[in-house]
Amino acid sequence: MRRPLAVSLCGLNCGLWRNERGINPLVAAGTFSYSTVLSVNTDSPNKAVATRGNQSAPGGRPKRQPVPPRTEKMAFDQDWSNVYPTATVFKPSAVPLPIRMGYPIKRGVAPEKKGNLELVKIPNFLHLTPTAIKKHCAALKDFCTDWPVALDTDEKCEKYFPIEIQSTDYLSAGPSLRNPKARVVTLSVSGYCFSCALFFFSTCHRFL
C-alpha cells in the first residue's frame, strides 16, 4: 500500500513557478511554499534478523542461548580459594558437588542444588577451607610478633597479663547468623592486681 505524504517547506529563496508575466505571485506576496508527494511503502517484507542457531524470536530479537554452568569448565586441580574467596551465599553453578537438600518430593530424593532455596537460606563455610585458612595466616604473619620466650607457663602469663576478656561465638544452621548470647563479654582480672600498687588497683577498679 502506498500512502502520499505532503511535506511543506517555508523560507525558499527562489520561486518554483512563474506566471505569464514572469513574476512569481508567492514571491511578490512575501510567502514561499513548496509541497511534494512522497510515497511510503508499508508492504515491504520484514527483513531477516540474524539469530543464533537459525532460530527466530518474536519481535525480531535474537534468542540467547543459556551459558553452561561454571562447574563444567572447572579443572580438577584448581585453587578453591579463588572460587569462594569470601563468605557468600550458595551458588549451584560454582559448586561441583551433587548436593541435595529439602523435603523429598513424592517419597523420592531431596531436590537438587539448582534452584534450591534451602541451600541459599542457610550459611555455608565453603570459604573456610584448610587451604584458605593457611593463606589467611600467611598474609597476617607479617603483622604479628613472636611469642615471648620468657612466658612459658600459665602463671607467668597471668602475672604479666592479669586482664582477660572472654567472648563466645555461636554457629547455627538457621536463616540468621545473629545470636543474642554472642553479645555477652566477660572481663576478668587476676588476683595479682590486688597485690600491686594502689594506682594500678584503682585503674582496674574503674574499668570494672
**Residues 159 and 137 both lie in one domain:** no
Residue 54 lies in a domain: no
- How high does pLDDT run on average in the chain? 75
Q: CA Rg, the chain, in Å?
A: 41
Residue 197 pLDDT level (bands cut at 50, 70, 90): low
Q: Assign 53 to helix, strand or coil.
A: helix
Give per-residue pLDDT as tens, 52-92: 555 555 567 788 888 888 888 888 888 888 889 988 889 99
56 in any annotated domain: no
Residue at 147 is within a domain:
no
From CA 113, how far away is CA 98, in angstroms rounded?
7
Residues 80 and 18 placed together within one structural domain of the fold: no
Of residues 136 and 4, more confidence is placed in 136
Question: Are 124 and 79 contained in the same domain?
Answer: yes
In a domain, 149, yes or no: no
Q: Give me the percent of the chain exceeding a pLDDT of 90.
A: 14
**Please, are residues 99 and 110 in contact by the beta-carbon 8 Å criterion?**
no
Number of domains present in the structure of the chain? 3
Residue 104 domain-assigned (yes or no): yes
Confirm whether 160 is domain-assigned.
yes
Q: Which of 112, 141, 170 is the last residue of a domain?
A: 141
Cα dihedral sign for 116, 117, 122, 124? positive
Tell me, yes or no, whether 127 and 172 share the same domain. no
Is residue 137 assigned to a domain?
yes
Task: State whether 74 and 136 are in the same domain.
Answer: yes
Q: How many Cα atoms within 13 Å fall on the side-chain side of residue 25?
A: 2
Domain hosting 110: range is: 70-141
- Centre a 10 Å sphere on the Cβ of residue 124 and count the other Cβ atoms it contains: 17
Domain assignment present for residue 177? The answer is yes
What's residue 55's pLDDT? 54
Q: Assess whether 116 and 167 both reside in one domain.
A: no
